[in-house]
Chain A
Amino acid sequence: MVTYVVRRLLVMVPTLFVVSILTFIIIQLPPGDFLTTLAAYSAESGGTIDASAMESLRRQYGLDQPLYVQYASWVGGFPRGDFGYSVEWKKPVGELIASRLGFTLVLSGLALVVMWLVAIPIGIYSATHQYSWGDVGLTTLGFLGLSVPDFMLGLVYLFIGVFVFHAPVGGLQAPELEDQPWSGAKLLDLTNHLLWPTLILAAAGTAQLIRIMRGNLLDILGQQFVTTARAKGLPERTVVNKYAVRVAINPLISVMGLQLPNLISGATILGIVLSLPTTGPLFLHALINQDIYLAGTFLLMLSGMLMLGNLLADLMLAWVDPRIRYD
């Protein structure tokens, strides 16, 4: 098991290296740099930046160096926890993104938990009551959840919030509570503001998990060891919960690895729609303004999160399924 973990971790290093190069190329793709954006903004508002000031700014931020030097100095800072400097916010990138990455992680993690808690019981119900009204209804609902993407659900949620609750529901905290000290009411408000984004984020994944769980369990309930278990007189509950479900859950773990990118993507875009402090809004802003180190670090960190998540999913699978461990 230890060698397996070590091997997987070692494989991640070159991948991360290539990913960081690709990230750097992608964020360098747009023509011009942050300073041209800055110049365009000031031209819009009537002012101009003269050429010598541009030149000195460019030198100050190292934008005049060849690309590989810029890349090396960016990557070279990583071990020290230095992810570059955001020219737009005039702050180190690390300071800007830590809380946002953390929140993205919390939101995705919560959504993951909700997905499993909701999907497994429903999947079991659907499989044991195949073609019943409940099954048909839940399957349809699942399909609907799969078809309406997060950000549209977010829009619908905003809409309902305004119409039904007559209050803006975006953000993490009601505006009037923002500056108050921590209290029960504030905590409740925060929970409320977190609950719905989590559910929205979990919707598509839940639908997918239900479908897989239902299919798997149906498959397994038809196998001979289940028939044997029934034949020797075990109660149906035990047959389903102790025999079939335990085997049917395995594929869900490998699916989890496939769902992580969706969760991270979803948290990004949902954050923009609902103005949540995820990576989304700041990332989009940085991309549009060519704040390259900020944008690049976001992209790299999100990829890193994805890779770590996949590793965890694989480890979990190896933990529950010995056939993989000894491979």
Chain B
Amino acid sequence: MTDVQTPRTGAEAPPPWTYPVDDRLTERDVISAEDEKRYSTSQLAVIKRRFLANRIALVGGLIVLGFYVVALFANFIAPYDADQRFDTAIYVPPQAIYLVDDGRIYPHILGFTLTTDLETLRRTYTADPTQKVPLEWCVHAEKYRLFGLIPTDVHLFGVPGRESGVFLLGTDRQGRDQFSRLLIGSQISLTIGLVGVTLSLLIGSVFGVASGYYGGQIDNVMQRIIEIVRSFPAIPLWMALAAAFPPHWPPLQVYFAISVVLSLIGWTWLARQLRGKVLALRDAEFVLAAQLAGAGDARIVFQHLIPAVSGHIIVVSTLAVPGMILAETALTFLGIGIRPPLVSWGTLLQEAQNIQTLAHFPWLLMPVVFIASAVLAFNFLGDGLRDATDPYSIV
């Protein structure tokens, strides 16, 4: 498309408009270098600039990135295995790290002494200032496989010896380190959303694009299907499907089954969104041009329509991830989601189900902080991406 009202430079009074009789550039068609730069900026560059200008979204994106990097290196950063038990350290409260001792830098934690109230049998741990346990970098401890491949036994930090441990966020009823469990659990919790969203993306884009592009009878049938799926409330449907997994399934199969279940509802949202977008673009000039040039449906869809709505796809899927993370947590919390030996944030929250334990061992509520910050960061990121790609959208 040619722009009829080409911008002019200079402040002289505009000459009366005449139709250009030849294709030589007249003086008023010349644009300044600055304008030139502005007009030739690619869509991607504009999006990038808008996104980078949005501080909150940027912070959200960095936090999300941080979460995934930590999840990737979880086994290395965590001082212990998810299932490693300390029989002498049941329900230990979070330990503080002291960086300085007597004016020198000496990162250490304080050992604890256990006293049991003979009447109530309640165990209390008190920090003992005389027992200073040094923290060490890169200690050799439990064996594990980094990224599931490289066998190693080096952990980022830890304390020497096996008698005492370092429990940054306390331990649970079996004496397992909550910090390690949170990190290792993040691998499941953060990826299940991605797997679920990928699946919804596959189904949703096929349905949405086909529905919007072909319209008519196909659109009608697809919309009815979506309507039926959406007339189930999400959590009760998820509960019913998750409860249907046979107990003898291996945990990994349950993991994939849950992501499939989560995407069963998720795709409808994406399909509706894409349908609207495609419907609006279907009659755009560039599609007409492609049709006139003899492009087939497949080419138009994959070469023209999908790239045109890709920004929207990315935004909608980013905004769908937190919901899936929460759904996994909720299902696992109810006891019909991820099963041991796998660990997820939901498994950790299960420990906090009982009011009495919660009252005595409040640090078991720590997973809530992790989940909420991950979800918040994802929402900020998705919001920022949406504002950057499509500032006029109201979704």
Contact = CB atoms under 8 A, between A and B. Distances in A.
Q: Please determine whether chains A and B interact with each other in the same assembly.
A: yes
Interface of A: 15, 18-19, 22-23, 26-27, 29-31, 143-144, 146-149, 151-152, 155-156, 158-159, 161-163, 168, 170, 212, 215-216, 251, 261-262, 264-266, 268-269, 272, 279, 283-284, 287-288, 295, 298-299, 302-303, 306-307, 310
A88 to B, nearest CB: 14
Contact of A147 (B231, B336, B355, B379): B379
Contacts of B246: 30-31
Interface string B336-372: 1000000000000100100100110010010010011
A299 B232 contact: yes
A152 B366 CA distance: 11
B394 interface: yes
Interface stretch (B93-101, B123-131, B234-242, B280-288): B234-242
Interface in B369-395: 371-372, 375-376, 379-380, 394
Contact of A298 (B224, B236, B245, B359): B236
Contacts of B241: 26, 29
A143 B380 contact: yes
Interface stretch (B20-28, B108-116, B208-216, B326-334): B326-334
Contact of B326 (A149, A168, A299, A310): A149
Given A143-B379, A158-B355, A261-B230, 16 more contacts: A15-B227, A30-B244, A31-B246, A148-B372, A149-B330, A159-B355, A159-B362, A162-B355, A168-B355, A212-B394, A261-B233, A261-B234, A269-B330, A284-B243, A284-B334, A306-B231
B379 A302 contact: no
19 contacts: A22-B232, A26-B241, A31-B246, A149-B326, A149-B329, A149-B330, A151-B333, A152-B371, A155-B358, A158-B355, A159-B362, A161-B355, A268-B235, A268-B239, A269-B330, A272-B334, A283-B239, A299-B232, A303-B233
Interface residues of B, number: 41
Contacts of A212: 394
B334 A269 contact: yes
Given A163-B359, A287-B336, A30 B375 contact: no
A159 B330 contact: no
Contacts of A144: 372, 376
A26 B243 CA distance: 10
A212 B333 CA distance: 31
Nearest to B352: A155
A268 B331 CA distance: 12
B353 to A, nearest CB: 8
Nearest to B229: A22
B322 interface: yes
Contacts of B336: 284, 287-288
A152 B379 contact: no
Contacts of B230: 261
Contact of B240 (A27, A143, A269): A27
A156 B365 contact: yes
B228 interface: yes
Given A149-B326, A162-B359, A163-B359, A29 B233 contact: no
A283 B243 CA distance: 11
A163 B228 contact: no
Contacts of A215: 394
Q: Which of A151, A152, A216 has the most CB of B within 10 A?
A: A152
B316 to A, nearest CB: 14
A148 B322 CA distance: 10
A287 B240 CA distance: 6
Q: Which of A143, A147, A272 has the most CB of B within 10 A?
A: A147
Nearest to A161: B355
Contact of B349 (A155, A170, A279): A155
Contact of A251 (B227, B380, B394): B394
A158 B372 contact: no
A46 B162 CA distance: 41
Interface string B127-139: 0000000000000
B361 to A, nearest CB: 11
Given A144-B376, A155-B365, A287 B243 contact: yes
A181 to B, nearest CB: 28
Nearest to A16: B231
B376 A147 contact: yes
A163 B356 CA distance: 10
Interface string B197-231: 00000000000000000000000000010011011
A230 to B, nearest CB: 24
Enumerate the 7 nearest inter-chain pairs by beta-carbon distance, A residue then B residue, closest first.
A265-B235, A29-B244, A287-B243, A162-B359, A147-B376, A264-B233, A147-B375
A159 B376 CA distance: 22
Given A31-B246, A144-B376, A163-B359, A307 B240 contact: no
B241 to A, nearest CB: 6
A303 B228 CA distance: 10
Contact of B232 (A29, A262, A306): A306
B373 to A, nearest CB: 8
A193 to B, nearest CB: 14
Contacts of A272: 334
A238 to B, nearest CB: 26
Q: Which of B233, B245, B336 has the most CB of A within 10 A?
A: B233
Contacts of B349: 152, 155
B358 A284 contact: no
